[in-house]
């Protein structure tokens, strides 16, 4: 196959590209320039897709003897990922920018251009498995549960899965990948994994959002609506948060309180006891299927609401474009804007953005 290897400059994508070459494919390496700040450099394990990363990727490509290009997707990345992130927080939701990047950049824009240029597939260093099933290609969890990235790939469609290649899916551990990189002489063998939000490399999400959205003081209220404190910008808070609350009125039972809801229109933050974070139902309309579309009706599944959360057994109801999921045991601290990925065993069925939640604890409790 003719393969376009997305090379981030990290060890995973380097080894994935090497395995694609070793398998006999015709491979071309591509680094995606996603930042408009051309001089941006990585700080330790913070940030990605920087000049430093591009140079690391080029050195790997040179060692493999494959062509290498840098493609500028910064405008599309800003529009589809950064602007979406800002608008979601402005609306009081908690988005996952990695999902949007996979959905609109790495497996849409890149794949679209690759197919136009005659390539058969895009290769990445994600930890996930592809299985050819009776009704087409299926996306499954990786062999290494600790590194499994099927959750952030849940946005991929059947068409995208048909043109995707994950050489690391069967690798038992990240240590094996690093050891292989060492044997191949890759300078990135011990490079730290990137974390946090790539376009906020200093990790100060609150400060970054305040700069983009402004910071207006507002009230912190309890579930009854009584004012119990103040805040300096509702966008700085997310459901389940405990630290950073400025509460002037202690809870009657003396227990700590957590963020239960963010209301951007009234600029208020609602807090309450930990048990009120229990969520009995999640609902969303922005959904996609990772393979065959699910017929309308009720079906059993497992649901994962964060990249590293444990899956929860649930009953899902799909009707008229809306997905409603009721877990067998309540979720803990779900925020609107999060992505719920549905599984059938190890297989990803699809995903949806959570638009509405229903607490398992009545307000009167």
Q: Can you state the angle between helices 51-64 and 11-22, rounded to 10 degrees?
A: 20
Active site residue 98: no
Catalytic residue among 98, 101, 123, 301: 101
Please report, for residues 93, 153, 282, 330, the alpha-carbon distance to residue 96 in angstroms, rounded to integers and kept in the order given. Answer: 10, 12, 17, 21
Element (H, E) at 133: strand 129-133
What's the N-to-C CA distance of the chain in angstroms?
60
For residues 174 and 22, the answer to whether their CB atoms sit within 8 Å is: no
Distance CA 319, CA 298 (A): 9
* 306-316 burial: b if 16+ Cβ within 10 Å, else e: beeeebbebeb
Instruction: Please report the sign of the dihedral spanned by the C-alpha atoms of residue 182, residue 185, residue 190, residue 193.
Output: negative
Cβ neighbours around 26 below 10 Å, total: 13
* Residue 101 bears catalytic tag: yes
Among residues 48, 98, 198, 301, which one is catalytic?
198
Q: Which helix (H) or strand (E) element contains residue 114?
A: helix 110-116
| C-alpha separations of 343 from 12, 139, 310, 349 in Å | 25, 10, 12, 5
Number of H helices, E strands in the chain: 9, 21
Catalytic residues: 101, 198
């Amino acid at each position: 196959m003719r393969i376009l290897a997305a090379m981030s400059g990290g060890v995973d994508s380097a080894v994935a590209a090497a395995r694609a070459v070793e398998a006999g494919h015709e491979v071309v390496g591509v680094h995606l320039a996603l930042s408009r700040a051309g001089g941006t450099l990585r700080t330790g394990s913070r940030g990605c897709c920087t000049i430093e990363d591009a140079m690391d990727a080029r050195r790997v490509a040179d060692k493999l003897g494959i062509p290498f290009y840098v493609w500028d997707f910064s405008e599309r990345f800003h529009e589809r990922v950064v602007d979406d992130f800002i608008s979601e927080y402005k609306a009081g939701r908690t988005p996952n920018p990695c999902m949007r990047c996979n959905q609109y950049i790495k497996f849409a824009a890149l794949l679209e251009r690759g197919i136009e240029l005659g390539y058969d597939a895009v290769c990445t260093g994600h930890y996930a498995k592809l299985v050819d099933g009776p009704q087409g290609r299926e996306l499954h969890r990786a062999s290494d549960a600790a590194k499994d990235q099927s959750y952030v790939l849940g946005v991929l469609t059947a068409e995208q899965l048909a043109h995707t290649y994950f050489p690391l899916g069967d690798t038992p551990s990240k240590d094996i990948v690093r050891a292989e990189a060492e044997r191949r002489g890759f300078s990135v063998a011990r490079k730290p994994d990137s974390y946090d939000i790539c376009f906020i490399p200093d990790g100060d999400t609150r400060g970054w959002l305040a700069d983009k959205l402004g910071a207006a003081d507002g009230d912190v209220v309890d579930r009854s609506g009584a004012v119990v404190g103040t805040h300096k910008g509702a966008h700085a808070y997310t459901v389940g948060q405990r630290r950073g609350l400025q509460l002037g009125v202690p809870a009657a039972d003396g227990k700590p309180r957590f963020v239960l809801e963010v209301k951007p229109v009234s600029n208020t933050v609602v807090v309450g006891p930990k048990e009120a974070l229990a969520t009995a139902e999640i609902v969303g309309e922005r959904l996609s299927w990772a393979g065959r579309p699910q017929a309308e009706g009720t079906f059993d599944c497992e649901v994962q609401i964060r990249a590293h959360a444990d899956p929860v057994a649930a009953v899902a109801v799909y009707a008229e474009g809306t997905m409603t999921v009721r877990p067998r045991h309540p979720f803990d601290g779900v925020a609107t804007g999060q992505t719920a990925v549905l599984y059938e065993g190890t297989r990803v069925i699809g995903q949806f953005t959570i638009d509405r939640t229903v607490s398992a604890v009545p307000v009167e409790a």
